[in-house]
């Protein structure tokens, strides 16, 4: 596929010999850009008859985050599709921050879902994968019949909050100044997060992932997280996304109303050591807003930080499989 004008594409060499990532790349055209996704299955022929599980990542990770979960899900008989958001992983990267709006990311992933044409699947959403994926689901309700949400959130705000929250977040980012990776790692909060991604001349994505995991990543793994971003001109997406967490609030409220009419089973798997979301009630909000979450075996994943796929991949995959089977998916 040709590269859209004024769009960057990480050279393929950056992804050679990645640790535990033997998966074949697949690509689809979205808004003139190449979006990368994995499509793993035991069956090359007749795989359209298999139940499909989508795995959506967030910022600043990519489908590499799911490398240990994918084989377990495939061995259980599922077809697994794991895309890279535009601006991340092997997907094309608009270099202008103006392109990376919340609505654009929803539009791009909705196009991806529409083009694949898969209905009645399942999904595992984490971080921005949930913030984007949930809105896609609101607009494409037949896309999924099962949903697992992990360490993610979707704002639903009244008039006062819609006015105040964006201002508060902007102030927190300004007060944080220009935090180093060391300051971010030692004091993980929204201000330092937004400040680091906005101002750091060289983003160390591997170190960011390490700061938000409980297990020790090795050098190859941290290099793999840095691979999509060979130089600062590729940084637009990870730089911008902390600044748009409280944007599109009218549209998000409207999508929440639609999601409340989506009646299929929902499971929450939030971790106990996430510095952003643990014990903040975000999992409870999902449980209360989705009728399909009632009486489900929701659990807190122990000894796991924000990127729980790194910390407890086997537990997450097997819990998801067991729940899907229990709910007859």
Q: Which CATH architecture has domain 12-158+248-326?
A: 3-Layer(aba) Sandwich (3.40)
Domain coordinates in residue numbering, the chain? 12-158+248-326, 160-242
Confidence grade of residue 44 (pLDDT, cut at 50, 70, 90): low
Residue 28, strand partner residues: 35
- Give dist(CA 128, CA 245) in Å, integer: 9
Tens-place pLDDT, residues 277-322: 999 999 999 999 999 999 999 999 999 999 999 999 999 999 999 9
Q: What is the pLDDT of residue 46?
A: 62
Instruction: Put residue 281 in one of left, alpha, beta given phi > 0 → left and psi -120 to 50 → alpha.
Output: left
Residue whose C-alpha is closest to residue 91's, from 32, 22, 165: 32
Q: What is the pLDDT of residue 157?
A: 84
Tens-place pLDDT, residues 61-101: 999 999 999 999 999 999 999 999 999 999 999 999 999 99
Query: Any idea which residues carry the catalytic annotation?
Result: 127, 274, 306
Cα–Cα distances (Å) from 122 to 80, 137, 161, 233, 318, in that order, read 10, 11, 32, 35, 15
pTM comes to 0.97
- Give the phi and the psi of residue 202 in degrees, each rounded to 5: -125, 110
Question: CB neighbours of 53 closer than 8 A, spacing ≥ 6?
Answer: 73, 78, 79, 80, 81, 121, 122, 123, 124, 320, 324
């Amino acid at each position: 596929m040709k590269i859209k004008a004024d769009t960057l594409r990480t050279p393929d060499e950056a992804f050679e010999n990645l640790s535990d990532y033997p998966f074949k790349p697949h690509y689809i055209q979205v808004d003139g850009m190449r979006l990368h996704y994995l499509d793993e299955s035991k069956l090359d022929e007749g795989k359209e008859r298999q139940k499909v599980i989508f795995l959506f990542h967030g910022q600043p990770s990519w489908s590499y985050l799911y490398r240990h979960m994918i084989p377990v899900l495939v061995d259980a008989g599922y077809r697994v599709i794991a895309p890279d958001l535009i601006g991340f992983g092997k997907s094309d990267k608009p270099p202008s921050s103006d392109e990376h709006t919340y609505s654009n990311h929803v539009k791009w992933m909705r196009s991806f879902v529409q083009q694949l044409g898969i209905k009645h699947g399942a999904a595992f959403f984490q971080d921005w994968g949930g913030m984007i994926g949930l809105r896609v689901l609101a607009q494409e309700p037949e896309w999924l019949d099962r949903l697992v949400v992990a360490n993610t959130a979707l704002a639903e705000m009244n008039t006062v909050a819609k006015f105040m929250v964006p201002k508060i977040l902007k102030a927190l980012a300004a007060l944080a100044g220009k935090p180093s990776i060391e300051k971010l790692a030692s004091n993980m909060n929204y201000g330092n997060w937004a400040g680091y991604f906005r101002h750091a001349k060289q983003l160390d994505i591997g170190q960011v992932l390490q700061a938000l995991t409980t297990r020790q990543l090795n050098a190859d793994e941290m290099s793999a997280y840095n691979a999509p971003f060979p130089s600062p001109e590729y940084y637009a997406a990870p730089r911008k996304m902390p600044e748009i967490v409280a944007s599109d609030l009218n549209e998000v409220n409207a999508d929440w109303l639609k999601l409340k009419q989506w009646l299929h089973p929902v499971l929450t798997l939030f971790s106990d050591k996430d510095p952003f979301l643990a014990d903040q009630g975000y999992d409870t909000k999902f449980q209360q807003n989705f009728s399909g979450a009632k009486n489900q075996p929701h659990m807190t994943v122990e000894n796991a930080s924000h990127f729980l796929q790194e910390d407890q991949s086997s537990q997450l995959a097997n819990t998801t499989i067991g729940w899907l089977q229990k709910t007859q998916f």
